[in-house]
Amino acid sequence: MRRFAYRNTTTVAEAVLLLKAGHAAVLAGGTDIINLLKIGALTSPPQTLVNIKNIPGIDFIRGDADGLEIGATAKLSDIASSEIVKSKYSALARAAGSVASPPIREMGTIAGNLCQQVQCWYYRRSFLTGNFFDCLRKGGSQCYAVTGDNRYHAILGARQCFAVCPSDTAVALAALDAEIVTNKRSIPIGSFFQVQGNVLDEDEIIVEIRVSAPKPGAKQVFIKFALRPTIDFAVASVAAVITTELGKVSDAKIVLGAVAPVPYRASDAENALKGNAISEWIAEAAAAAAVKEAVPLSNNKYKVQIIRTLVKRAILA
């Protein structure tokens, strides 16, 4: 384990000041950052961990007729079991409940789940774990997955780095058009993620997540495929929010997870649904449209069929 200073904070402002000093990182649940330090994966590891767990009033889950607000340090287990989330934002409840194992969900926070680092084995390898790959995320010049073992890497939207966004809750929140509120600004979730991480500044932390109330009667679905569903990261996932009026789809949001560097909005699949009554044939057409732009690597073509199947199931659910 690399040595680091540990600083407790009791206000967001105090945490921000420590981050501004540089060479620091936020500690919330700690399920990702501590592991990264243990395995030596970070080329520029933080010298200080800024603990925000003791900041009062940022672990809330509250909802009203206008929408839902979730504090940054709300635990995944609490989100998954929240009655307001389960009843009105069921895709998010299912996504939060699918993360890792119960002990991890009891520690992990919503902000941490959104900000976690990728699980790419080239990125996470270090001299401590055997072999070091100077990949793009570490300042290198190539993505080793392109010609290496890429079975779990991106098939959509990747250009240079092919590591996929590992967050389950991000997929559901993207389908719900969430907004991420930091100490500086409000960020639509569609603008939060980028190919190599997120848009947060060095001295910026998530304070809360806001979700507007979905339209009455909107169907919400989150489906995840993992090799060991009770613990593993997704091989592929789908979140869908579909609204029908007079028997036809009036609005649809379909987001794909674990197949792109960011939560991937399947716009072609959405357009295939809009204006049509849901049927087996329409679901098949939308599922095919979802993967129309897929460009698999040498070992992950199988993901194309998994996504097609998950999208179809989500539409027909």
| DSSP conformation letters of 184-224 | S-EEEHHHHEETTEE---TT--EEEEEEEPPPTT-EEEEEE
pLDDT of residue 291: 98
- The pLDDT of residue 237 is above 90: yes
Mean pLDDT of 206-231: 96
Amino acid at 178: A
Mean pLDDT of 23-50: 95
CB 5 within 8 A of CB 45: no
pLDDT of residue 150: 98
Q: What is the pLDDT of residues 139-187, one digit of tens each?
A: 999 999 999 999 999 999 999 999 999 999 999 999 999 999 999 999 9
- The pLDDT of residue 130 is above 90: no
When the pLDDT of each residue in the chain is averaged and rounded to a whole number, the result is 97
pLDDT of residue 200: 98
Report helix, strand and coil shares of the chain as percent, to nearest 5: 30, 25, 45
On whether the pTM is more than 0.95, the answer is yes
Place of tokens 């779990």: 152
Mean pLDDT of 101-113: 97
- The pLDDT of residue 34 is above 90: yes
Confidence of residue 16 (pLDDT cuts 50, 70, 90): very high
**Which residues in 98-110 are b (16+ Cβ under 10 Å) and which e?**
bbbeeebbebbbb
Angstrom distance (rounded) from CA 13 to CA 262: 29
- The pLDDT of residue 2 is above 90: no
- The pLDDT of residue 190 is above 90: yes
Q: What is the pLDDT of residues 241-278, one digit of tens each?
A: 999 999 999 999 999 999 999 999 999 999 999 999 99
Angstrom distance (rounded) from CA 112 to CA 33: 9
Angle, vertex CA 241, rays to CA 235 and CA 245, nearest 5: 150
pLDDT of residue 230: 87
